[in-house]
Amino acid sequence: MSDRAKIIHENFLSGVKNEDFPDTNIISPANVGLSNSQFVEIFESQILSRRLDMQSRELQAIGEGFYTIGSAGHEGNAAVAAALNIKDMAFLHYRDAAFFIQRSKQLAGQTPLWDMLLSFTASSDDPISAGRHKVLGSKALNIPPQTSTIASHLPKAVGAAYSLNLMNKSNDLIYCSFGDGSVNHSTAGGAFNSACWAAYQGAAMPIMFLCEDNNIAISTPTPNNWIYNNFSNRPALKYFHCNGLNALETYKVVKEAAIYARANKSPVFVHKKCVRFLGHAGADVQTAYMSKEQIERGEANDPLLHSANLLIQNNILTPAQILYIYNEIGKRVSAAAKQVIKRPKLTTSKDVQASIIPPPLIMSSREKPRDLKVSPQGRDDNVFDKKPQHMARLINWALHDLMLEHDNIVMMGEDIAQKGGVYNVTAKLHEKFGARRVINTPIDEQTILGLAIGMAHNNILPIPEIQFLAYLHNAEDQLRGEAATLSFFSNGQYTNPMVIRIAGLAYQKGFGGHFHNDNSFAVLRDIPGIIIACPSNGADAVAMMREAVRLAREEQRVIVFLEPIALYMTRDLHADKDGLWTAKYADTKPIAIGDIHVHGKGKELCILTYGNGYYLSRQAGKILEDEHNIKLRIIDMRWLAPLNEEAILNAIKPCSHVLIVDECRRTGSISEALMTMIMENSAPLPKLERLTADDCFIPLGKAYAVTLPSKDKIIAHALELIS
């Protein structure tokens, strides 16, 4: 072990042997509602956490251990776990090994020592991540896995808490822990605000936020009284404080906070003071930013010494008995470590990737959705069945039907309730289904996606809305770092299926700047496991939305449903009032994931596109055929991730020329992937070109489209390509 670890170890041995303890507020287990044996059990969890921290550094020294961020100094979390119920879902800080160990004692058959060592050594036998990362998580213990997250788990914890009332789990609460440095992250700020915002208005929000305040964030000290002054007087947030070095005091305060949160269905903030030993992580050298005196002062306040003092002063254990327990646990950890390094590891790319896509659910026939066509409740059947409609209304009707069919669908987003969204796509859904299922959120995209992720943990199927594509960038990590990784880091045991509706892409007249005309979804394309759907017309939107909900319900997938704003209200294609871009709702046909659409049978030219590009290509295609006698076909890809490469390649194979029309920017657009795919897989290679948007943001006014592909540009490029 490292020098500091050895010093801490020896300090504990000598402190107990000589009964040289830090000042401890001596209270008895009975004073806080614990038996003596229960307190001993908590102490044993504290010791096991410490011995595992030390062992992790020894494993790293011999090349068998990885990622040694530890829990030393935070062992008071064992008392936190003892004060909560196993059914209280726990989103844990990465220093919460003692919590994990203590909770395991609430369920027979758990093996936390062995399981954590498997995680330390990245063994494929690790029961939570199968060797993909050192995480604290367990399906059996109701602990979704977290890596070294900095506050990104807070929004989904808020979502999980909000969902408890929807699921009629009246006495449950959600537990969420984090460090004092994490509270400064904007993600944490949004989570605290949204929890308080909801509770302030009377919404049930039974959540316990617990801040493990060790006075430092990696190397940056936390200002004196920053946590207290920041959280002790917030609206709708009840503040509690405890000395986290004293396990009995910690148990008492956490128990009181839990009782308050359950009874009042409101958020509580527990400020638990503690210390941090052994630096931030294994590679961290504390002496670079802390003096020796500061380090030693912290180490003198060892929570294990505080617990030992309480045990001795209450005549529960003798110093000799404490040392025996400490040494015996150490021997057990060492012996297990020698065996665990022999366990198998992930060795192939296929094995590593296996849990990116979650396992499908096995559903009974009565659970399987009907192929809905019409739900006339509250509508004029004559209009509903017979009059063609534009995309926005058709999506609205599809959402209406799906919410009637599946009572666990809940929608959330900015202005989606009474207003019906900026573009009226969610009109009347709030009126029909109420505020419990159509939720107006604060103006915070991290809250919207976090709410959805957390709800999905409690078997709700969320359909969150991001008002504009550019707004997604405020919350992208909720997809990349949380939603998309959950199955991966839990070996498919935990999932958060959802359908994320995003109004986006370009061509909006009168809007400028990238906030309302954002022609790039590149931020989504490299997230493993995400499905991206992009309908170009209303009929496709209905069918693809049904398929997206099926994928979420039956295959537990995360789907991004990208809706082209400029086509929401579009009715005509070639001439005024031709109505060719509308459809009858009852006539929509099923579309499976990966299904592409091919318009035309020509072999001279293939235009490969999606979204607005398909609409413009259809306009251009008519002119190319009628005026230039070019025989062509136009492919609407529909599904942008994963690409159905086989279907696309087969569709373009007969064609001598291929023009890719991509409304996104030339750099980083999907056209790059399409060019590569065609060049790597086509023989003979067709004459190939791409038309994209320029590498530029979109301006205001009449110049809104000058950087984008247009009907005329498509015609010009096509003629040049085949000349």
Report pLDDT digits (tens) over 281-303: 877 888 899 999 999 999 999 99
Least confident residue range of 343-347, 513-517, 671-675: 513-517
- What digits encode the pLDDT tens for the residues 231-249? 999 999 999 999 999 999 9
- Is domain 597-722 classified as CATH 3.40.50.920? yes
Least confident residue range of 114-123, 194-203, 517-526, 618-627: 517-526
Mean pLDDT value across the chain: 94
Q: What is the mean pLDDT of residues 344-368?
A: 86
H or E element that contains 3:
helix 3-17
Confidence of residue 306 (pLDDT cuts 50, 70, 90): very high
Q: What is the pLDDT of residue 283?
A: 76
**Whole-number Cα distances in Å, 92 to 56, 95, 707:** 19, 8, 47
Contact call for residues 686 and 657 (beta carbons, < 8 A): yes
- The token pair at 450 is 């976090």
Cα separation of 592 and 569, whole Å?
25
Task: Assign a CATH topology to domain 3-343.
Answer: Rossmann fold (3.40.50)
Q: What is the pLDDT of residue 457?
A: 95
| Maximum pairwise Cα distance, the chain | 99
Q: What is the pLDDT of residue 377?
A: 46
Task: Give domain 365-587's CATH superfamily.
Answer: Thiamin diphosphate (ThDP)-binding fold, Pyr/PP domains (3.40.50.970)
For the chain, percent of residues with pLDDT exceeding 70 = 96
Query: Model pTM?
Result: 0.94
Domains 3-343 and 597-722 share a fold: yes
- The token pair at 65 is 């251990």
Q: What is the pLDDT of residue 376?
A: 45
pLDDT: which is higher, 281 or 532: 532
In the chain, the amino acid numbered 131 is G
Cα separation of 32 and 247, whole Å?
10
Confidence of residue 721 (pLDDT cuts 50, 70, 90): very high
362 pLDDT exceeds 90? no
Residue 467 C-beta-side C-alpha neighbours within 13 Å = 21
Q: What is the pLDDT of residue 427?
A: 96
378 pLDDT exceeds 50? no
- What digits encode the pLDDT tens for the residues 658-711? 999 999 999 999 999 999 999 999 999 999 999 999 999 988 888 889 999 999
**CA distance between the termini of the chain:** 73
- What digits encode the pLDDT tens for the residues 132-187? 999 999 999 999 998 767 899 999 999 999 999 888 877 899 999 999 999 999 99
For the chain, percent of residues with pLDDT exceeding 90 = 88
Q: What is the pLDDT of residue 365?
A: 54
Confidence of residue 654 (pLDDT cuts 50, 70, 90): very high
Domain boundaries, the chain: 3-343, 365-587, 597-722
